[in-house]
Amino acid sequence: PPRDEPPFRGDTTMEDLPTVRTSLDGGDVTPPGTQRSKEPPATPTTPSIGGAVKSSGWRSLKPYPLEEKWDNVLPVGPADRHRQGVLSNGMRYYVHRAQKPKDRAALALAVDVGSVAEEEDERGVAHLVEHLAFRATQNFGNFEIVRFLESIGAEFGPCQNAYTSMDETVYELLVPIDDAGSKNLTKALAVLSEFASRVRISDADVNDERGAVLEEMRMGRDARGRASEAYWKLLMKDSLYAERLPIGLESVIKKGNPAVFRKFYEKWYRPERMAVIAAGDFPDLDAVVNEIENAFGKCAPASGQPKVNPPTPRPPVAFHASPRVTCSVDKEHTKTTITLTFKYPANPISTPGDFFQKTVEEAFKLALDNRLYKLMRKADPPFFSAGCSVEEATRTVSVFSAQIVCEEGKKSVVRGLEAGLRELARARVHGFSEQELKIARAKQIADAQQFFVERDQTYCTSLRDELAGHFLRGELVVGAEEEARMTIACVERMTVEDLRVFAQRCRLDASCVIRAMEGRATVKEADIAAAAAKIQDEENRGAIAKNGAFDVPETLVDAGRLPAPGGVVETTAFSKMGFNVSSLANGVRVATKTTDFLDDQVLVRAFARGGLSEVPEKQYLDALYAGTIAGELGMFGLRPETLFDALAGKRADVAAKTGTYFRRVDGDTSPTDIETGLQLMYMLFTQDVRSMLVPEELEAVLRMQEQAIRNRNRDPASVYNQTIRRLVYGKTFQSAPLRVADVRKMQPMNACEHFNAAFADPSQFTVVLVGAFDEKRVLKMCEKYLGCITAPPPPNVSVSDGAVIGDVWRRDDFENITPAPFTFPKGAVTREIRSYMVEPMSMASITFPVNIKNPDWDVDRKTSVVTVDGSVTLTREKLLCVFATSIIERRLLALLRFKFGEIYTCAASASFAFEDPLARGALFRGDVMINFSCDPAAGKRLARLALEDIKALQLFGPTVEEVATAVEVETRALEVREQENAYWRDYYEAVHNSRLRDLLDGDLDALFSLSEKTRRELMAALTPEMIKEHLQRCLDVRHRVVVVLRPQRPLWRRALLPDPTTAEGLAVLSLYGVAAGAAAYLRLKKKAAQ
C-alpha cells in the first residue's frame, strides 16, 4: 500500500562495513564475501525426491578424498566447459560455457589495481578513471559505448557495469549473442579492449565527469555512509587502507589535475595486471578464445612505461590486543545499532584444506546466528534483531562481524551489547552442541545440494563473478559437482571442537572493534568499555553457563489428524500458456505449469482478490498491522524460532501479504521440499494466530514499531518519500504516514483476527505452482493439504464500532472490489522540504497523473461495460505509457548527466498499481514519477529542466533512435524474463484476474493469445508519433506534484533573509511587515503628539 508498511523484526542485514567498492553508476557496497557466503534457501537431505521430476544424482556422488587432496591447488573446472590461458602480452583469459540465460554472454575485464595504489594527490582517481572509460575511448566517441549497449538491449546503469574497490577495478557487460551474436560479442570485446589501453582522458573529459562523481559522493554520504566510513577508518587504523576509500577526496574530484589521471591510467593499466572473462551460452569455446586473442592480443603498456610490471601495493593492517571502541552519533540514523567486529588474516580458498576452513567459518556463523535469533525471540529480549557476517575486508584481512539492533537509550544499548558479547563468550568457553552443529550442517548441505542440482542452470553473471574472484583473489572454481563432493566431505569431517577453535578468533583481545551507533547520544565509550570488561570478568570467573537444549518438532503436520483430502472435481488444460487448472472439492483452484528453467525451484502462490481497500477506517490500523503481528508471533502456529529449526536443511520459504487489492501467500521451495511448503500453507490457513499472542512478547514488537517510526522521522529521505506519497495519493487514511501513537491505537487481538479471516476461506484462493516438479505427485499433495481445508464458520468477532471483522474478508462479491480513494491533486503542487542535514544534499521528484480514457465507458449510463476491443485499447495505452517512461528516463539521463554532468543517475517509472483493477470509471488512472538527487543548490533548476524536456517530448515526440532503443531493451528483457518461473507465476495471476476472463468464458488461452498479440504488434509498429500522441492524450503536465528536498538554512539566515516560497519565510516577512507598520504608526503618533 502507499502507506508506510510496518517493519519486521528479523535477521539483520549487515550494513556497517565500509564502502570499499564504488561502482560506476551505482553506490557503494561492502567488500565481496566468501564464495557463496549468502544463505540461499535450502534443500532437503532426506532420500525422498518429493515432488521432483527426477533424481538429481545427489545421492550418487562419489566420496571426495579430502585428506589426500588437502593441500592440492585445484584447477578451474569442469574442463569440458572451460578454457583458460595467457596471451603473449601477459593478459589472462577465462572462457566458460553457461547456458542461462539463453543466448547471453557475461563479460568482464578485471584489473588488479584499486584505490589503495593511489598517491595522496590521486585519491579518487582510480574510480574516476573507471567512469571515464564509458564516456569515450580512442575509437568510441562521446557516449558511443552507452548508445551501443542500449541499442542491443544490454543493461547500462547504476550498479551494473563496473566497480572500483581498494584492491581492484572490474568492468562488466551482459550482451545478447543470438542472431547477431558474433557481431555483438565481437563489438563488446572490442569495448573491453578499449578500456584496457585506450580510454580517452582529456582535460575536457575529466572536467565533464567531475559533477557525476561528486553527486555519487553525495549519495554515499548519508547517515549510513558516514558511519561506515568512520568505522572503516577505525577498523583499519594505522594502515593505508584507512585512507584510500575508492570515492576519494572531494578536492581531487573537483580540482585534480587531468594529467594525474592520465599518469595513473598509464602506470597501472597493463595487460599483465588484467584478465578478460567470458561466461555465456557459447556453442564453441575455442571460437571465443580466438575472439579474445584478436581483441586483446595487441594491448600493451602505455608508451614510456617500464617493461617490468610495478609491484602491487598490499599495505599491512595492524592487529591489536586492546579493543577499539567508538560511539557514532548521527541524528539521521534510522536504527540504534551495536557492531562487534574481529579481524584476522584472510584465508584464500585455493585448496580443499582452505575450503574446509571456510566451511567451519560459515558453520560458526550459522550456529551463532541461530542463538542470537532465539535470544531476540524471547519475552523482553535484550535487542530487536541481530545477525552475523563473514567478509574479506581486504586481500589480506577477513572480518567476522555481529550487528545488533536495539532500542534507543543507554540502558538498552548496554544491555544489547552485553548480550552479544556474552553469546560470543559462551561460544568460546562451551562451544556449540551437537544439536546446533546438526542444524548448521543441514543448511550447508542444503546450499551445496541446490547449487549441484542447478549446475547446468547457473547464471552466466554468477560464473563470470566467480572467475573474476579466481583471478583477483585465487578463489576456488572447480564446478558444482566437485564443490558438492568437497562440501559433503568437509561437513562430515567438521566437529563442535572445530567451531570452538574458530570462536577463539572472536575475543576482545583479538583485534576487536566495537561501535555503538545512535541517533542521539545516550552512551559513552566508557559505558561500552565497562560492558566489555563485565563480560570478560564473567568469562574469567567461569560464570557463563552452557547454552540450554531446545526442542525441534519431528514433523510440521500430523498426517493422521488431517481431514479427508479434497479431490479434484474438474481439470482444464490451457496448452498455449502451459497451465493445467484443477478445481478441488472445497473450491480451491490449483494451476500448475512445469518448466525446466531451474531444476531446484518451484514457486507457489495462493492469491485472492480483496485487500486493504475493503477495510473501513476504524479497522484500518488493525488490518495494516495484521501481517506484522502474525509474522512476529507465529503465523503457522509455531514460534518463529521453533519453525526456523524445524526447517533446517529444507528449502520451503512461505510468507503472507495483504496489499491494496489482493491477498497472497508466496512460497519458494525445492521440488523435494514442495510437500513441506504445502504443509506450511495448510498451517497458515488453519491455525488461530490469536493463540500465539503472548503479552510479554507482543510488548517487544510494539516497542520496536515505535522506535522504527521515530527513527524514520529523523531521516530526511524518509520524510521526503512520505511527503511524495501523501501529496500524490491524496490525504486519505490509507496514505497517511504512520505515527508513533498509531502503534498503541492498533488492537493486537483485532489484528490477529484480521489475519485469521483474510486467510481462512479456501474457496477464495487460486494456487499457482510453476517450476520443475512431477505434476501428478504434486497434485496429490495439493489434494491432501489444500483440499482438506474447510470453510470457516460464520464470523463472530466484533470491533468497537459494531462492525464484524470477518465480514470484511468473507464476502462472495470480491469480483466487485472496492476502489481505493486515491486522487491526484489538481494543478501544479510544489513542495520544498527543508530538513536539517549532517551532509548537504538534495533530492527532487516530479509526478504527473496519467489519465487514460476508458473505451468501455458508457457516457449515458455512467457505467462501464467490458468489451474485448476496449480492453485491447486500454492495454495498448498502458504499454505506450511504459515505453514513454522508458524514453523519458534515458533522455533525462543524457541531459542531466551526460550533457550537464549534474546528476549521478535518475529513475522514471509508470505505475497503475492503485487504480481500480476493474476499470469501472470514465478514466483509468496512473502516474509517472521522475526522481533524482543532485547538488543542494540545483534541485529546483534541474526539476525545471526535466519538466521542459518532458514538455518538448510531448510537443515534438522522441527520435526514431530513442523508440528503437526502448523497444530493443524491452525485447531483450522479455527474452530473459520468459525464462524465469516468477514471470509465468505473475502472468497467470494477471490473466486469471483479468476483467475479460468472464467475457471469454474463462478461456485463459484466448486471453493469453490476445495479450501477447497486443504487445507484439505494438512493439513491432511503435513509432515516435504514437509516443507523442499518447503523451498528448494521457499526460497533462499542467497537473503535477514537484517535491524538492534541501538542507535547512541556518537560523540567522532564515531570520535575516527569509524565503518567500516557504510558509516559514512568509511568516517571517509578515512579522517584518507588522513590525514595520507598528514602527510607522508609532512615528506618526509621536509626530502628531508634537
Distance CA 932, CA 905 (A): 6
**Residues 465/670, Cβ–Cβ less than 8 Å:** no
CA angle 633, 635, 639 (to 5 degrees): 50
Distance CA 864, CA 583 (A): 30
Residue 1050, C-beta contacts closer than 8 angstroms, at least 6 positions apart: none
2 CB-side CA count, 13 A: 27
Distance CA 526, CA 741 (A): 34
**Residues 127/134, Cβ–Cβ less than 8 Å:** no
Three-state SS at 641 = helix
Residue 178, C-beta contacts closer than 8 angstroms, at least 6 positions apart: 103
Three-state SS at 1012 = helix
Give the distance from CA 941 to its chain's centroid: 31
Pairing of strands 397-406, 568-574: unpaired
Distance CA 4, CA 15 (A): 22
Distance CA 347, CA 330 (A): 35
Distance CA 316, CA 236 (A): 9
Three-state SS at 33 = strand
Distance CA 751, CA 635 (A): 12
Residue 799, C-beta contacts closer than 8 angstroms, at least 6 positions apart: 618, 619, 622, 747, 750, 805
Does the annotation count 482 as an active-site position? no
Q: What is the dihedral of CA 721, 725, 731, 736, to 10 degrees?
A: -60
Does the annotation count 144 as an active-site position? no
CA angle 240, 243, 247 (to 5 degrees): 130
Residue 755, C-beta contacts closer than 8 angstroms, at least 6 positions apart: 626, 627, 629, 630, 635, 656, 689
**Residues 272/196, Cβ–Cβ less than 8 Å:** no
Q: Select from 573, 809, 779, 568 the least CA-distant residue to 678.
A: 779
Distances 1066 to 1048, 1051, 1070, 1071, 1078 between C-alpha atoms, Å: 16, 15, 6, 9, 18
Which strand ranges, in their side-by-side order, compose the sheet holding 336-345?
A: 324-329, 512-518, 336-345, 397-406, 385-392
Three-state SS at 343 = strand
Q: Select from 326, 352, 330 the least CA-distant residue to 339.
A: 326
Three-state SS at 4 = coil
| Given 130, 216, 675, 877, the catalytic residue | 130
**3-state SS of the chain: helix, strand, coil percent to 5?**
45, 20, 35
How many Cβ atoms are within 10 Å of 21's Cβ, its own excluded?
24
| Given 194, 209, 614, 706, the catalytic residue | 209
Q: Select from 700, 687, 820 the least CA-distant residue to 755.
A: 687
Pairing of strands 589-594, 766-771: parallel
**Residues 647/616, Cβ–Cβ less than 8 Å:** no
Q: Which DSSP category does 792 fall into?
A: P
Single-letter amino acid, residue 520: R
Q: Which residue numbers are catalytic? A: 130, 209
